A and B are shown apart, each in its own frame.
Chain A
């Protein structure tokens, strides 16, 4: 373990911020998350503006299966908690625990992704294609973009787990774990809004409220 860097050093308390590079990585990642907020925000804005324009196709109210959505929410929320545990294990310098919690996080993420793929498949069979209506395009773009982020996160964290088997826990690898944890939480925060704006508000059904 720790074959390449920082071999003879004891890990500091917060190894992700022990080097200037690590500090900058965390700082830069927060600025990236600010950009991601804007990115998702514009997709949300588009969806909110267009969600009632179904163009003769199925509407959100007819379509959504809240059971699947509830399970997806639970899986993603739990995976966010397990990635917190991974970061806590990181602070305790326990690589085995970091890897274990991240494996669980990835598995829960895969479960979430599976549900989403099933959901989209189901909707396409209900005649809701990408080009059916302004509602369908904005729905698939917003929710699919989030799903794409989950898929990317799964690949990223899997890569980190594999790398950590070789490199161990050092001041070089620690920021990677920390930043991946931030990413995963952010994905969960975005989902909270998707759950509320897309699914719950879809259940109420657009203009019927006003």
Chain B
């Protein structure tokens, strides 16, 4: 079960593009996006009717940030991850449209 492909004994972990920086950037970006969304609804700076699409776009941007950076979906070897999430999201979109327009 636990077969490790270990070659050398003296190995130092080489961490490829996994520095702290992108994660901190994502964190700060998430906070800023949340605050913008909050401001947009609380102070009605955006023409009425556009607020909902606007904050939903902000949420999608934030989700993309977290999926790609925090969950490493931008790195190679995540093809199935993409298939899973994109398929799931597609089903969700269809479900929401169906529920809102036809059911109830």
* A72 CB, min distance to chain B CBs, angstroms: 11
| A30 adjacent to chain B (CB < 8 Å) | yes
Q: Among B6, B14, B20, point to the contact of A88 (Cβ < 8 A).
A: B20
Q: A13-B14, A77-B34, A84-B70 are in contact. Are A41 and B91 (CB under 8 A)?
A: yes
| A48 adjacent to chain B (CB < 8 Å) | yes
Residues on the B chain within 8 Å of A196, using CB: 37, 55-56, 58-59
A49 touches B100 (CB 8 A): yes
Q: Majority SS of interface residues in chain A?
A: helix
* A70 CB, min distance to chain B CBs, angstroms: 7
Q: Among B1, B41, B83, point to the contact of A204 (Cβ < 8 A).
A: B41
Query: CB within 8 Å of A: which of B69-104?
Result: 70-71, 77-78, 80-81, 83-85, 87-89, 91-93, 95-96, 98-100, 103-104
Q: Majority SS of interface residues in chain B?
A: helix
**Which residues of B approach A to under 8 Å, CB–CB?**
1-6, 8-9, 11, 13-15, 18, 20, 23-24, 26-27, 30-31, 34, 37-38, 41-42, 48-49, 51-52, 55-56, 58-59, 62-63, 66-67, 70-71, 77-78, 80-81, 83-85, 87-89, 91-93, 95-96, 98-100, 103-104
